[in-house]
């Protein structure tokens, strides 16, 4: 019988570091880069920490090959995106309060300035009455004095009415702000602002248009044949199409514009400080970017198109009337063959 030598157990020396597999290192490096990118978005450009994080990312990339972000990496970056969008929107809403306060100040200044004129007129009436020679002059001056006092009373009522209107608006706004801070403003699926945020922003923009008269536009975007994606490929593919469209639109619009998921397969884009020509050009750009893009499902490339209806805000518009004009334009785009823009100008 042949005796076999027992196998030697190889014990690594303690002074030799254990080297993790390359795949593991690349995975960890990718997640670390996603975290760094997310943090960078939340920091101001002149922050010292931002510079250090960029240096850290450079070191990581130099030491380890960093591939495409994994699903977890994308989730990390989207988490930071939601926090940045949410904070930015809340800050914008708080600016409305400042605008309303300034309007109250303007109203008071205007009335006080006018009232001081009344004060001068009333003082002159009193002096003229004291210096009047005959009864006829006194009667005429009395009528003039009564007229000035009626004007003062009328302006006092106007001031009271305007201040009461501002008080009501401020109360409504304060409640909306409380709700906006208490509820989520970002749609969890598409990572863009939701309908609640849209309602707040529309109120602000209508209010500012009446004050500053700066034109802006509302676009309604509807994904063509969206039901077919759900029916043919399943709802999970439909969700991915929604995310893909939202991301493409977000990259196509300007930094001053905002996209909202209004509901289902429908999105709204608000274009600030544009006239009819620029609004049409931006809408066409969004439509063409979606058409050029495609969605990958396994080995299949799924084409997606959208129909867009738009409208420029007018002096008689309300939140509802402006939306209805854009909505009708969007349905005209659908009826005309889809994958196009129709503007209500």
The tens digit of pLDDT for each residue in 162-173 reads 667 766 766 766
The more confidently predicted of residues 176 and 47 is 47
**Which SS3 state, helix, strand or coil, does residue 295 take?**
strand
Contacts for 90-97 with beta carbons within 8 Å, 24 or more apart?
90/177, 90/180, 90/181, 90/185, 92/201, 92/204, 93/176, 93/177, 93/180, 93/200, 93/204, 94/177, 96/173, 96/204, 96/207, 97/170, 97/173, 97/174, 97/177
pLDDT at position 182 is: 47
pTM (two decimals): 0.59
pLDDT at position 45 is: 79
Angle at 339 between CA 336 and CA 341, to 5 degrees: 75
Tell me whether residue 265 is one of the annotated catalytic residues.
yes
pLDDT class for 25, splitting at 50, 70, 90? confident
Q: Which of 77, 93, 148, 265 is catalytic?
A: 265
Specify the CATH number for 186-344; select among 3.30.70.270, 3.40.1190.10, 3.30.230.10, 2.60.40.10.
3.30.70.270
Q: What percent of the chain has pLDDT over 70?
A: 66
The more confidently predicted of residues 80 and 14 is 80
- The span from the CA of 171 to the CA of 229, in Å, is 44
Tell me the CB-side half-sphere exposure of residue 74, using CA atoms within 13 A: 10
pLDDT class for 132, splitting at 50, 70, 90? low
**Which SS3 state, helix, strand or coil, does residue 250 take?**
helix
Tokens of residue 45, six digits: 């450009």
Q: Is the pLDDT of residue 231 over 60?
A: yes
pLDDT class for 322, splitting at 50, 70, 90? very high
Q: What is the pLDDT of residues 189-205, one digit of tens each?
A: 999 999 989 998 998 89
The stretch 88-95 carries a mean pLDDT of 66
pLDDT at position 298 is: 72
Mean pLDDT taken over the chain: 79
Q: Is the pLDDT of residue 225 over 80?
A: yes
């Amino acid at each position: 019988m042949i005796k076999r030598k027992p196998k030697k157990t190889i014990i690594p020396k303690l002074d030799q570091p254990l080297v993790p597999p390359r795949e593991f290192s690349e995975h960890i490096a990718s997640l670390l880069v996603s975290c760094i990118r997310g943090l960078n978005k939340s920091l101001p450009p002149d922050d010292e920490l931002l510079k250090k994080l960029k240096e850290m990312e450079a070191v990581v990339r130099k030491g380890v090959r960093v591939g495409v972000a994994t699903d977890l990496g994308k989730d990390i970056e989207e988490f930071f995106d939601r926090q940045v969008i949410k904070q930015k929107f809340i800050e914008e809403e708080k600016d409305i309060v400042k605008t309303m306060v300034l309007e109250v100040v303007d109203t008071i200044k205007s009335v006080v300035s006018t009232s001081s004129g009344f004060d001068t007129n009333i003082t002159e009436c009193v002096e003229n009455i004291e210096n009047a020679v005959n009864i006829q002059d006194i009667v005429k001056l009395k009528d003039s004095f009564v007229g000035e006092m009626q004007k003062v009373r009328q302006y006092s009522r106007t001031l009271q009415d305007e201040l009461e209107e501002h008080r009501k608006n401020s109360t409504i706004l304060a409640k909306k702000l409380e709700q906006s801070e208490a509820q989520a403003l970002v749609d969890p699926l598409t990572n863009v602002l939701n309908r609640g945020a849209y309602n707040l922003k529309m109120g602000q923009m209508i209010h500012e248009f009446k004050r500053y008269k700066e034109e802006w536009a509302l676009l309604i975007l509807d994904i063509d044949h969206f039901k077919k994606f759900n029916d043919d490929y399943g709802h999970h593919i439909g969700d991915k199409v929604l995310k893909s469209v939202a991301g493409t639109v977000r990259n196509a619009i300007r930094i001053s514009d905002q996209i909202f998921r209004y509901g289902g397969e429908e999105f709204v884009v608000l274009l600030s400080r544009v006239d009819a020509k620029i609004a049409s050009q931006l809408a066409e750009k969004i439509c063409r970017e979606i058409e050029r893009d495609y969605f990958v499902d396994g080995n299949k490339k799924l084409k997606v198109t959208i129909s867009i209806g738009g409208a420029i805000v007018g002096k008689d518009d309300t939140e509802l009337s402006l939306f209805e004009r854009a909505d009708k334009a969007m349905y005209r785009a659908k009826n005309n063959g889809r994958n196009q823009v129709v503007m209500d100008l």
